[in-house]
Structure 1
């Protein structure tokens, strides 16, 4: 689909939230780093998850797929007796997680690996890894602005220094692989660490698979070498970053029950519930089912440093709150699949929101509703597309959305689920 027409309608019903992409990445990686067999179930085959599966296979993991379940063994990946042969090619698509997790993992043993990708992936920084490569004498060649990185060598245990305000993915990538090296290692964080929640998810998964890492209040991490990952049977929990779209839908007047969520989850995107509660929406929790009901919505300040992925859709509800909302500490949204601060300002503004782009956030003055009757663009970004779909339910007239298929990056069935709950979509320009 190149363009779809979305006619405003009320979403109503129950939806089983897709499994967490963040948790699935981590489970697949940990299972692939174990010589024992693991079973990972409740997998949603988004483009990002496919990239990680294919990447771990390229590195030697045996991964079999049966419906939504993966059967994984990393015995061959861990075998360092084989001589280096052909270059291993890993296509990351547009997945920053796949790229930044697998770069250090690919160097557990002596290897020659080429990482490629598409879209804006080549614009997302990799400097922290280049600094490690330079220090350890690992050969690498990369192209500016294009995802094409060739690396040749092996990472050794030791002391690592990383900034904490670029991306937690660099830290997670090292945390996955350093326990498997012979010597002990230490990662020191040289600036305040953002996205601590993603580090929590990494440490939780690593621990589940039998590996121990000491977290010194997120200022440093001590890793004993020579550890082994155990096999594990793991069911991926529901994704709060995807649930956020339908939780916000409830807050702006729709009637949706989100099923399959773990209210005790460590996912920081669960902060969507905190934001919505502070805004004034009513939240109902019944076991693994969560729903949000519209109430008098008041403007708040939202800090995006720990949960950047939910900020675009939180801007949708903020645009319909009474008063002036501020989104702060959200500068990392500029280096996602698109510049999300720019994109959400432009597209919500086109719909009729009163929104101003700031250097690291947004200023949003509430309006009663969105006008609609216009064309908006997804910027080929899944979270922008889905945020616009939720905003469309509060429009006065239909809208046209360009390039909606980008949702396949994280939520392939989004449009089907949207229609199942009463969303009205018409394809007006097919591929």
Structure 2
């Protein structure tokens, strides 16, 4: 069977206003980390609200290969019996992460400073993604890269050191994955491991380190950065984890409600961590009618319900320093920008070029397919914005779940339908996206 025959295309059409209350899947970043911290803890970690998409299930499988007992006890409910920091078992087979870049890079950190050998691999999409950014700091601990694909790509085999040394690492890129890999590696190194970032990135790893009893200190660094100091070789204490709704997944029904006239949609239990709410901040600046309800704290994370109504949007200038707090949401923000009055400039999007696809190029191609005027200047994307979008085109998703969902959302408000060439990869992060959106009134066929 050819690749084209295995694709699952879908067409999105403009219809009635969207309405209803939904809960989107658990946050992918928290879900990956909850399983990994369960692995690194002696005792039982209970997790509720776990995202049961393919990416996270691959991380669960890898945790089993490293010695943990990982069991599903109900919908979104899991228990992990861990082996503790320093107790990982050497895997007998390659660790297959499928499409999960987060799972792969973070697990390189988890395993890195253990004196074991492991081979990391993934699907065709993950094999195209750069891994040197995670490997370079790990080598400073004494980790040895035994084998790697061309340009530092998967499959990669690493050998952990017998005696790791702590490091001080100043990250050259604003990447929560790289920072987290270093901190997770530092757990099995003696002394203090330090990460310095010039732009603050999502801090789920730091919060979860504290939640499980590690000694971690976070202090400001420069105008927008932070310094994180971690005391190595702690005995992590088992703690329950409640996974909030993923703001990156909530982004799709939120933008859909904002651009479809007359809509009234509530998304419940959304994570409101300040380092993850860049899209909400930007949409409100654009004039989106978003009401924050029932704000609360669970497992160390801020969450709230968000009510969104159809809105008249205006173009804005999105500063580069906001990029780390919304890097996964730029594709769907570009969709919102297409329906705004006036140009929207999104600055500093270099990181989009090394996601599941070259997302910057894929977003531009999707906008072109929809007849939306736009330009790319360096690492900036400018969407012209005249309050409407013609639509009528077919979008190539390049095996990227967020590109697929973004342009399905776009088709709900374009004059002509939008077709995406493949929706299979949506299951990696949002398995019931199509069903939930249809429940709100979306016309997908």
The TM-score with structure 1 as length reference comes to 0.90
Equivalents in 2 of 1:147, 1:332: separation in Å? 19
Q: Counterparts of 1:361-376 in structure 2 under 5 Å?
A: 361-376=380-395
Q: Displacement of 1:157 after TM fit?
A: 2.9
User: 1:429 corresponds to which residue?
Assistant: none
User: 1:63 corresponds to which residue?
Assistant: 70
Shift in CA distance, 166/130, structure 1 to aligned 2, threshold 3 Å? same
Equivalents in 2 of 1:188, 1:286: separation in Å? 35
Q: Displacement of 1:260 after TM fit?
A: 2.4
Equivalents in 2 of 1:119, 1:326: separation in Å? 32
**Are 2:365 and 1:346 aligned?**
yes
Q: Displacement of 1:66 after TM fit?
A: 1.8
**Are 2:255 and 1:248 aligned?**
yes
**Are 2:231 and 1:212 aligned?**
no
* Comparing 70-79 and 115-124, the one that deviates more: 70-79
Equivalents in 1 of 2:145, 2:392: separation in Å? 54
Equivalents in 2 of 1:301, 1:202: separation in Å? 30
Q: Displacement of 1:134 after TM fit?
A: 6.6
CA contact (8 A) 1:119 1:337 kept: no
Equivalents in 2 of 1:373, 1:21: separation in Å? 32
SS of equivalent residue, structure 1 residue 119: coil
User: 1:329 corresponds to which residue?
Assistant: 348
CA contact (8 A) 1:357 1:363 kept: yes
Equivalents in 2 of 1:262, 1:399: separation in Å? 28
SS of equivalent residue, structure 1 residue 379: coil
User: 2:315 corresponds to which residue?
Assistant: 299
Equivalents in 1 of 2:38, 2:179: separation in Å? 19
Q: Displacement of 1:26 after TM fit?
A: 1.4
Shift in CA distance, 235/49, structure 1 to aligned 2, threshold 3 Å? same
Aligned length: 417
Q: Displacement of 1:193 after TM fit?
A: 3.1
User: 1:51 corresponds to which residue?
Assistant: 58
**Are 2:278 and 1:282 aligned?**
no
Q: 1:7 aligns with which of 6, 10, 13?
A: 13
Equivalents in 2 of 1:212, 1:259: separation in Å? 34
CA contact (8 A) 2:141 2:167 kept: no
CA contact (8 A) 2:53 2:430 kept: yes
Q: Displacement of 1:43 after TM fit?
A: 1.4
Q: Displacement of 1:118 after TM fit?
A: 1.9
SS of equivalent residue, structure 1 residue 51: helix
User: 1:125 corresponds to which residue?
Assistant: 131
Shift in CA distance, 251/324, structure 1 to aligned 2, threshold 3 Å? same
SS of equivalent residue, structure 2 residue 277: helix
Equivalents in 1 of 2:389, 2:211: separation in Å? 46
User: 1:35 corresponds to which residue?
Assistant: 42
SS of equivalent residue, structure 1 residue 316: helix
Could you list the per-position Cα deviations for residues 158-189 of structure 1 after superposition, in whole angstroms to 9, with x for gaps in the alignment? Answer: 223242415221221221242343x2033243
Q: 1:92 aligns with which of 93, 97, 115?
A: 97
Shift in CA distance, 76/186, structure 1 to aligned 2, threshold 3 Å? closer
User: 2:27 corresponds to which residue?
Assistant: 20
Q: Displacement of 1:267 after TM fit?
A: 5.5
Equivalents in 2 of 1:210, 1:135: separation in Å? 23
SS of equivalent residue, structure 2 residue 94: strand
* Comparing 334-343 and 10-19, the one that deviates more: 10-19
Equivalents in 2 of 1:58, 1:256: separation in Å? 45
Q: Displacement of 1:257 after TM fit?
A: 2.3
CA contact (8 A) 2:44 2:79 kept: yes
Equivalents in 2 of 1:113, 1:335: separation in Å? 24
Shift in CA distance, 353/184, structure 1 to aligned 2, threshold 3 Å? same
Q: 1:237 aligns with which of 238, 244, 247?
A: 244
CA contact (8 A) 1:60 1:76 kept: no
The TM-score with structure 2 as length reference comes to 0.87
Equivalents in 2 of 1:294, 1:29: separation in Å? 39
Could you list the per-position Cα deviations for residues 265-297 of structure 1 after superposition, in whole angstroms to 9, with x for gaps in the alignment? Answer: 326332222111110122223324312223332
Equivalents in 1 of 2:136, 2:342: separation in Å? 45
Shift in CA distance, 132/269, structure 1 to aligned 2, threshold 3 Å? closer
Which blocks of at least 5 consecutive residues in structure 1 are unaligned?
Answer: 427-431
CA contact (8 A) 1:247 1:256 kept: no
Q: Displacement of 1:380 after TM fit?
A: 1.4
Equivalents in 1 of 2:141, 2:306: separation in Å? 49
Equivalents in 2 of 1:97, 1:215: separation in Å? 22
**Are 2:233 and 1:226 aligned?**
yes
Q: 1:111 aligns with which of 116, 127, 131?
A: 116
Shift in CA distance, 421/294, structure 1 to aligned 2, threshold 3 Å? closer
Shift in CA distance, 367/227, structure 1 to aligned 2, threshold 3 Å? same
Q: Displacement of 1:131 after TM fit?
A: 5.3
Shift in CA distance, 211/77, structure 1 to aligned 2, threshold 3 Å? closer
Could you list the per-position Cα deviations for residues 227-279 of structure 1 after superposition, in whole angstroms to 9, with x for gaps in the alignment? Answer: 1111111211111111111111122125242332246x326332222111110
SS of equivalent residue, structure 2 residue 436: helix
Shift in CA distance, 284/180, structure 1 to aligned 2, threshold 3 Å? same
Equivalents in 1 of 2:66, 2:209: separation in Å? 19
